[in-house]
Structure 1
Amino acid sequence: MLTDPSVLLSSPLFQGLSTKDTISLLQCISVNRKKFSQGEVIFLSGEPINRIGVILQGSITIIKEDFSGNRSILAEFVKGNIFGEAFAFSNNEKLSVTAISASESEILFIDANRIFTFCASACPYHSRLIENMLKIIAKKNIVLNEKIDVLSKRTIRNRLLSFLQIQSQKNDSNHFSIPFNRQELADYLCVDRSALSNEMSKLQNEGFFSVSKNEFTIYSSKGNK
């Protein structure tokens, strides 16, 4: 049990719940927490899971590796985010991805079966938990569709520009930061890092955008700085 359940109130899963309601809810569902070192595996591809994770501290990366060991980053999650729900709710479906702690982290694990199973008192805060979970799943489906759209582009240039356009729209600004370094961005776009760097240099020279580390400024029209 958490000594301070208020740490969960920033998570979308517990949105709309008071500290008192959260305490009652944690007594209703089965939870435990664990700390992980940077690079430590949380969930391993090929294994079934029956619990979801809520990030209390740190961040995690969801990756997929092919038979040659090539790695693709599918998602990055930070404090307050949840992960693992798609497989935890899929009736022992084996993981096709691996969840790795991207930094020193602490995870609260929740038994997936207890989320959609009402307690005897049918408490209203449990209903809110289910509503929040459905909203989270819906939003993640939108993110998945965004990545499918990016990867549907045949060239590195078009994948990168499509990704940056989505980030600009999300931030409602032409200036924004992305949650990836250069290698992680290459993994996300499923391209070679060197080829990505070359294409980024060309696009900068052509006036499409400027970049400093992970901060981008997109120009409204080519060469319009």
Structure 2
Amino acid sequence: MKKYLPILKNSPFFTGLTDNEILSILHCVKATTVSQKRDFYIFRAGDSTEVMGLVVSGCVLVIQEDLWGHRNILSKCHTGDFFGEPYAASPGAVLNVSVVADTDCEIILLNVQRLLISCPTACEHHQKLIRNLVSVLANKILILNDKITHVGKRTTRDKLLSYLSTESIRHSSLSFDIPFDRQQLADYLCIDRAAMSTEISKLQKEGFIKTNRNHFELTVCNNSDSEIKM
């Protein structure tokens, strides 16, 4: 586990903890490492879990799928990101999401239930970890709130602009990369890919955006009649 310390120290879950404290906690929560190939399902909807995952290489998608294969992407987790925390922290909770490897990846699995009981070694950093877990869960709520805001818009154009505006604000720049390819972006915004591509082309022709693959540049006009409404 020591080789993962640089990643773990930058994770919000381990904020304020020393290397030795992190290693002690990994032992306490029975941390195990697994490697998964692209498109492998780490968690499946309908299952239950006592562990949450921490991505230490590659990335995974948190998704919902129906019986006909329609995919709704809830979030994309990169190196240092967690997934499965709410379900692991709720004994007996049934997953209504699946987690699938978007690339070949390595995952550390942590038994959250061991955080919610008295630490057998009475470690001083146990309470720090619980506070960090609450912070991680709160951040996930904010991420889902952003998605609800985007998909709640009435049109494909409004959903795109809502998402791009939020990403611009998050990056503090009008020029930024998004974490999704085109199909993933359509799945995240719950829109048809062809309709989305058409709308992106219109926005480019109208001079509101420039885009190349997953890179976007936004143009905010001074003219109120032609300004993008964000």
- The TM-score normalised by the length of structure 2 is 0.92
Say whether 1:48 aligns with 2:39.
no
Say whether 1:129 aligns with 2:129.
yes
Q: Which residue of 2 aligns with 1:27?
A: 27
Deviations 1:97-132 (A, max 9, x none): 110011111111111211222314432211111111
Contact 1:206 1:223 in 2 (8 A): no
Q: Mapping of 1:132-143 within 5 angstroms? A: 132-143=132-143
**SS of equivalent to 1:202:** helix
**SS of equivalent to 1:124:** coil
Q: Which residue of 2 aligns with 1:79?
A: 79
Q: Which residue of 1 aligns with 2:190?
A: 190
Gaps of 5+ in 2: none
C-alpha separation in 2, matches of 1:9 and 1:135:
15
C-alpha separation in 1, matches of 2:94 and 2:121:
33
C-alpha separation in 1, matches of 2:101 and 2:45:
14
Which of 152-161 and 213-222 deviates more?
213-222
C-alpha separation in 2, matches of 1:106 and 1:208:
39
CA deviation after TM superposition for structure 1 residue 5, in Å: 5.0
C-alpha separation in 1, matches of 2:87 and 2:116:
15
Alignment-mate amino acid for residue 202 of structure 1: K
Alignment-mate amino acid for residue 122 of structure 2: A
Q: Which residue of 2 aligns with 1:207?
A: 207
Contact 2:29 2:112 in 1 (8 A): no
Identity of aligned residues (%): 36
CA deviation after TM superposition for structure 1 residue 56, in Å: 1.5
Contact 1:5 1:22 in 2 (8 A): no
Deviations 1:134-171 (A, max 9, x none): 11111111111111010110100000000001001101
RMSD value, Cα: 1.5
Change (3 A) 1:23 1:223: closer
Deviations 1:36-83 (A, max 9, x none): 011111001111111101112111111111232111111000111111
Q: Which residue of 2 aligns with 1:14?
A: 14
Gaps of 5+ in 1: none
Find runs of 4+ consecutive structure 1 residues off by over 6 angstroms. none
C-alpha separation in 2, matches of 1:198 and 1:23:
50
Which of 115-124 and 37-46 deviates more?
115-124
Contact 1:37 1:105 in 2 (8 A): yes
C-alpha separation in 2, matches of 1:133 and 1:143:
15
CA deviation after TM superposition for structure 1 residue 220, in Å: 1.3
CA deviation after TM superposition for structure 1 residue 91, in Å: 2.1
Q: Which residue of 2 aligns with 1:116?
A: 116
Matched residue pairs, number?
223
Deviations 1:19-52 (A, max 9, x none): 1111222232222111101111100111111110
